[in-house]
Amino acid sequence: MNGTMQVNAQGHLTIGGCDAVELARTYGTPLYVFDEEAVRQRAAEYRQALSSLADSEVIYAGKAFLTVGMAALVKQLGLGLDVVSGGELFTALQASFPPERIFFHGNNKSESELNAALDADVGRIVVDSLYELQQLSQLARARGVTARIYLRLTPGVEAHTHSYIQTGQSDSKFGLAIAGGAAMKAVRQAQELANIQLLGVHCHIGSQIFDTSAFDATVLLMMDFMAAAAQEGHYIKELDLGGGLGIRHTDDDDPMDVKMFGEFLADRLQEAAQERGLPVPKLLIEPGRSLVGEAGTTLYTVGVIKELPGIRTYASVDGGMGDNPRVSLYQAVYEGLVANRMMEPGNHTYTVAGKCCESGDKLLFDVELPKLEPGDILAVPSTGAYNYSMSSNYNLLPRPAVVSVYQGTSEVMVEREQYQDLTRLHKIPQRWR
């Protein structure tokens, strides 16, 4: 079981000391439950893991899950924050997140997003293309400011993960390829362009990665690149290796320990720098999923149970692909727990389906659970990352509430959407009235 999960005397699942069945009763379902303690622990582990380095920073990748409350927690934890859009930047600023700790990413930032980043004076803008480099130089010049930048590079590493979440290979919409020379061209241009200060290079090779080999290759390739740049007289002082550490969704997943992972990166970096006669750069990492993924659990209420003899038994819940699109998008695999009957053996096999009008709207496949009854509370763990942030209103289902739990108390981080929220922006054109 993840984070602070336990089972209480009534045989109910508890998270952060709160009874999950009570949470479902109080706040309704579907409900995202956010285990604050689990996030605090992960953040501390990450920081500890990099502590052998003279200079390092842990940046939370906000795309995994960002709300104003989450930005406030990240601020309190002393981490940096990655944002990838004007909306994420706005959300961070709403929480008075220190702009100097914000890293602005994106492969196609709009002019207004770049201007917003410059106006907020964010710590780093991560430039993704030669076009953006020129554009940013002009915008910074017009404002009379200097943009502190990283260049996002694609080192040519293929991480072993789903092809939609691989990003470090050369054939990618992201970044400047090292192979072929685009990356070095960008370094040269960045040094020459007005109002641009090149501080570092960045890469992100993919997500849900379970072994160190791809990270190992990446450190070496990035350090080779930094050595080649140094030979040309361009000294790059900061190296951001992105995120990507996998998490446990099911018992079959065996993720690396955060501490081991961080220590591995720190050691490899120090060795690689020494081998190349370079000073050890400042190391930055940008975990998203591994900071919040296992801290999130979604609670659903079981409704219709449909037995197809000799085929399968479907149990439908009151959420689905609207609150967790990752199953239909990436064939992500999750597990389920029956929160109100944790002590009962899982001796029935179910396919758990959502309530959207799509045959593909399924959450769990052939999972062993106690015999389900309508009204049971199904908990799906490891939904803290890329669930709320990727949720939709498909079928005009209101998005669930998000509740944080900590040491026996619960507090709303995001209110449940109401029907009025669904139509708030709708208009009837004059001719149709």
**Binding ligand PLP by CB under 6 A: which of 82, 88, 113, 361?**
82
Stretch in the footprint of ligand PLP (CB under 6 A) among 43-51, 57-65, 139-147, 340-348: 57-65
At closest approach, how far in Å is the CB of 179 from ligand PLP?
19
Q: How far is the CB of 113 from ligand PLP (least distance, A)?
A: 15
CB of 203 to ligand PLP, least distance (A): 8
Question: Cβ of residue 201: shortest distance to ligand PLP, in angstroms?
Answer: 12
Instruction: Kindly state the smallest distance separating residue 407's Cβ from ligand PLP, in Å.
Output: 27
Choosing from 62, 200, 244, 255, the residue that interacts with ligand PLP (CB under 6 A) is: 244
Q: Does 268 bind ligand PLP (CB under 6 A)?
A: no
In order of 120, 126, 170, the CA distances from 132 in angstroms are 18, 10, 19
Q: Closest by alpha carbon to 410, among 32, 12, 6? A: 32
Establish if 62 lies at the interface with ligand PLP (CB under 6 A): no
By beta-carbon proximity to ligand PLP, the closer residue of 126 and 403 is 126
How far, CA to CA in Å, does 154 sit from each of 24, 108, 176, 191, 222? 44, 16, 6, 20, 9
Name the residues annotated as catalytic.
357
- Quick one: which of 35, 88, 132, 286 contacts ligand PLP (CB under 6 A)? 286
Question: Binding of ligand PLP at residue 326 (CB under 6 A)?
Answer: no
- Is 168 one of the binding residues for ligand PLP (CB under 6 A)? no
Q: According to CB under 6 A, which one of 85, 154, 166, 290 is a site residue for ligand PLP? A: 290
Distance CA 35, CA 250 (A): 18
Q: 132: part of which helix (H) or strand (E)? A: helix 130-143
Residue given tokens 């964010």 in the structure block: 122
Q: Please report the sign of the dihedral spanned by the C-alpha atoms of residue 172, residue 177, residue 179, residue 181.
A: positive
CA distance linking residue 331 with residue 244, whole number of Å:
18
Which CB atom, from 50 or from 352, has the smaller least distance to ligand PLP? 50
Please answer whether residues 64 and 39 qualify as being in contact, where contact means their C-beta atoms are separated by less than 8 angstroms.
no
Length of the chain: 433
Of 40 and 348, CB closest to ligand PLP: 40
30 lies in the site for ligand PLP, by CB under 6 A: no
- CB-nearer residue toward ligand PLP: 331 or 407: 331
Contacts (CB under 6 A) with ligand PLP, residues 375-404: 385
Classify residue 294 by its DSSP letter.
G
Give dist(CA 368, CA 231) in Å, integer: 59
Q: Which stretch binds ligand PLP (CB under 6 A): 42-50, 61-69, 85-93, 320-328?
A: 61-69
CB count in 10 Å sphere of residue 213? 12
86-94 helix and 68-77 helix, angle to the nearest 10 degrees? 70
Write down the number of H helices and E strands in the chain. Answer: 12, 21
Least Å distance between CB 291 and ligand PLP? 7
Distance CA 394, CA 181 (A): 43
Q: How far is the CB of 92 from ligand PLP (least distance, A)?
A: 15
**Dihedral (C-alpha) 75, 218, 56, 78: value to the nearest 10 degrees?**
10
Of 297 and 410, CB closest to ligand PLP: 297
Binders in 85-104 for ligand PLP, by CB under 6 A:
none
> In terms of CB distance, is 216 or 417 closer to ligand PLP?
216
Per CB under 6 A, the list member of 207, 316, 324, 340 interacting with ligand PLP is 207
| Residues 105-164 interacting with ligand PLP (rule: CB under 6 A) | 105
Please count the residues of this chain forming the interface with ligand PLP, following the rule CB under 6 A. 17
Show Cβ contacts of residue 44 under 8 Å, excluding neighbours closer than 6 positions: none
| Sign, CA torsion 293/297/298/302 | positive
Residue 287 touching ligand PLP (CB under 6 A): yes
In sequence order, which ranges of 33-100 are alpha helices (DSSP H)? Answer: 36-49, 68-77, 86-94
Which residues are paired to 369 by β-bridges?
Answer: 348
Query: Which tokens sit at 305?
Result: 């149970």
204 makes contact with ligand PLP (CB under 6 A): yes
Stretch binding ligand PLP (CB under 6 A), from 94-102, 219-227, 236-244, 309-317: 236-244
Interface with ligand PLP includes 80 (CB under 6 A)? no
Strands 56-61 and 282-285: parallel
Binding site for ligand PLP (CB under 6 A): 61, 63-64, 82, 105, 204, 207, 242-245, 286-290, 385
